[in-house]
Structure 1
């Protein structure tokens, strides 16, 4: 043998007999040299797959010429780096496997992938997931295994990118109550469908809903957006993404203007892409919330007497309760008006409006709302002849009932209790039928 080291030997300069001799050499460096050559015969590579040196087996694992039978042995190798190298190699071969042909080679490749997808080492599964995450030809059963992995660094890339996962797959995963990070990964998928977006929103995960709102390619239905906006006052991380959603219905924009901070309110007002109807709705919401911003005082002209103090000139501001009574007397205290007041946090107006429409004394309304009973608040809204969707908003925003405890509409819009049940709830607070 030459005195030159194996690393100096030209790749094409080793014949079969020399390769066999090097494969059985006591020098691990020589065995490793043979193990890393693409020209080495399959039977020699198979022999070296059981080599006592992990360095040699790592070369075998990375060698694309290694026969699949040897790869199957290496999938159970005690060395984690051997298995990680094998995972990267096998996963990279997926795009080149013929879809129409499932022979022995393809079956063995699939078996290796399935074994690695169950590997106890997170590093091995992570390598597999990162390589397969955007492969349209990846084996479905392997992708399913990785998507349900409890380690977020494994499941996250697959949930976020894999084209193999169908809407039904994603809905099943959401129903299994996954980790918040996994929900976030689903919410960030490009072109997320309306059904999956709705399922993400219903988890009430703060991080996942924020990611959903920030995903401008996600298809968020108007009713889903309405539900998110109902709970948004409690979730500050949702406010920025809501303000920046590509399309906002006028009513949704006006409701958002009622609870976001002043900085985001200015962002909402300044959006040039909003249609005129939406901008008008936002301006009206701003006028109600911050009247000083919508009607700045004109400067005094030179040579004219000094303008009187603004506070002296301005008429006394109408109190919320008085405004509610005035509108009620005019027959204009409808659900839309009360809903707008609820969106802007006008608690006094809403309490008075509920009292007037339900014909219940204000102190009784205070007791019902303050008791934080979902059934009691729902019965109060029913008595006030308001819709069940609005009753849900009152539970969340006025009574501050946790989202997990609120009563929801039956069949989308109907009240979930019978008339007798609602009357009984009100009788508990001394309200006669």
Structure 2
């Protein structure tokens, strides 16, 4: 079957030949220079393609071919070593380095997408990607790579390759105190807002107090800060005199400002105490008791800083995780979220997303993502 010359085949036939792992290496090398893009892409994807042919394809004129090759070599990266003496592995490593320096962002992003959260890829590769100026490349690695150490993050903060690098670091899950202090000290508007919105970031009380003192003219900081869980009394007190009206309403709706959290059995008292058209927990419970989705959406939208229409449309789908995430973002108590879930989504007790003791079943990052999706769909 391999006796005929590939030039006698049409594009489809040569592409099928290029896909086969039993095609002779010299034939694969020959096809790496084929005039048809789909043939070269098939060679780029073929695990049997010789390392030198991959190196040829790394300089291919078509970015799509280079992107296919990038995905293949990125998947092999756990087996690659910058210090390897094996010739094939060394060539593959050098080829991968060509691709992470590629002019086309989608090519570099293809590598980042596959290695971002892998624990066993070469650290040199992760560091190169984390310092990329394109966030489509750098951010997945900065936020997800377990190989980035605290000192690596501090270097990125001290000398960010791009302005957006700071916010990418700020969004990294479980960010330690030293990087959070460094980001706060830079007082960069978007990155501090991203840091405050990162519920898993470890922020010292002194850092939060320093941010609170400088947030009078930073509405994005205020909106994120008043929704941050477990604020200390000192931080809560310092905020009351500097917040804009909308942020102050969110702050005053937090459970810390109430003598107790509402439970489903107390919702009638909450309705009696709330003002018609108000923007607090009592008003929300009263609206939920009546099943008034539009009113519930208006209140949650105002407390979350989201368009009311987007929130109402989300409530109409009656998806419990989205509703509970909105309650969390709005600063409502867990018991208010329980009541809303049972009334507005008709959830059964075994389906509740609030655990005994008032613990939110979903992780803050997951709830933040659900809320963020509503903003993107608005």
Cα deviation, residue 59, structure 1: 0.8
- CA distance 1:274–1:191, shift in 2 (3 Å): farther
Q: In structure 1, what is the equivalent of residue 146 of structure 2?
A: 163
Which residue of 264, 268, 284 corresponds with 2:251? Answer: 268
Counterpart Cα distance in 2 of 1:189 and 1:27: 50
Which residue of 161, 183, 186 corresponds with 2:166? Answer: 183
Provide Cα deviations, 1:370-421, integer angstroms capped at 9, x if missing partner.
xxxxxxxxxxxxxxxxxxxxxxxxxxxxxxxxxxxxxxxxxxxxxxxxxxxx
Cα deviation, residue 127, structure 1: 1.4
Q: In structure 2, what is the equivalent of residue 224 of structure 1?
A: 207
Asked if the contact 1:200–1:208 (Cα under 8 Å) also holds between the matched residues in 2, the reply is: yes
Counterpart Cα distance in 2 of 1:94 and 1:274: 52
Paired residues for 1:51-130 under 5 Å:
51-95=34-78, 103-130=86-113
Counterpart Cα distance in 1 of 2:145 and 2:113: 10
TM-score, normalized by length of structure 2?
A: 0.63
Asked if the contact 2:80–2:90 (Cα under 8 Å) also holds between the matched residues in 1, the reply is: no
Q: In structure 2, what is the equivalent of residue 136 of structure 1?
A: 119
Asked if the contact 1:136–1:162 (Cα under 8 Å) also holds between the matched residues in 2, the reply is: yes
* Mean Cα deviation higher: 259-268 or 215-224: 259-268
Where has structure 1 moved over 6 Å in runs of 4 or more?
A: 98-102
Is 1:192 paired with 2:175? yes
Q: In structure 2, what is the equivalent of residue 420 of structure 1?
A: none
Counterpart Cα distance in 1 of 2:203 and 2:150: 15
Provide Cα deviations, 1:24-48, integer angstroms capped at 9, x if missing partner.
4253332222001233233321221
* Secondary structure, counterpart of 1:207 in structure 2: helix
Asked if the contact 2:80–2:92 (Cα under 8 Å) also holds between the matched residues in 1, the reply is: no
Which residue of 4, 10, 30 corresponds with 1:47? Answer: 30
Cα deviation, residue 273, structure 1: 5.7
Provide Cα deviations, 1:102-146, integer angstroms capped at 9, x if missing partner.
733432322121110111112211211222211212222222222
Counterpart Cα distance in 2 of 1:168 and 1:85: 33
Cα deviation, residue 80, structure 1: 1.4
Which residue of 216, 221, 232 corresponds with 1:238? Answer: 221
Asked if the contact 1:180–1:207 (Cα under 8 Å) also holds between the matched residues in 2, the reply is: no
Asked if the contact 2:82–2:90 (Cα under 8 Å) also holds between the matched residues in 1, the reply is: no
* Mean Cα deviation higher: 93-102 or 244-253: 93-102
Counterpart Cα distance in 2 of 1:161 and 1:58: 29
Q: RMSD in angstroms over aligned alpha carbons?
A: 2.5
What 5-or-longer segments of structure 2 have no aligned partner?
Answer: 260-378
Counterpart Cα distance in 1 of 2:149 and 2:88: 27
Counterpart Cα distance in 2 of 1:35 and 1:257: 67
Counterpart Cα distance in 1 of 2:258 and 2:120: 43
Counterpart Cα distance in 2 of 1:255 and 1:131: 44
Aligned residues, how many?
A: 259
Paired residues for 1:24-423 under 5 Å:
24-25=7-8, 27-95=10-78, 103-272=86-255
Asked if the contact 2:54–2:69 (Cα under 8 Å) also holds between the matched residues in 1, the reply is: yes
TM-score, normalized by length of structure 1?
A: 0.55
Cα deviation, residue 199, structure 1: 1.0
- CA distance 1:244–1:51, shift in 2 (3 Å): same
- CA distance 1:275–1:135, shift in 2 (3 Å): farther
* Secondary structure, counterpart of 1:108 in structure 2: helix
Q: In structure 1, what is the equivalent of residue 4 of structure 2?
A: 21
- CA distance 1:102–1:165, shift in 2 (3 Å): farther
What 5-or-longer segments of structure 1 have no aligned partner?
Answer: 1-17, 277-433
Asked if the contact 2:105–2:137 (Cα under 8 Å) also holds between the matched residues in 1, the reply is: yes
Counterpart Cα distance in 1 of 2:120 and 2:14: 35
* Secondary structure, counterpart of 1:246 in structure 2: coil
* Secondary structure, counterpart of 2:216 in structure 1: helix
- CA distance 1:151–1:35, shift in 2 (3 Å): same
> Who wins on radius of gyration, i.e. which is larger?
1
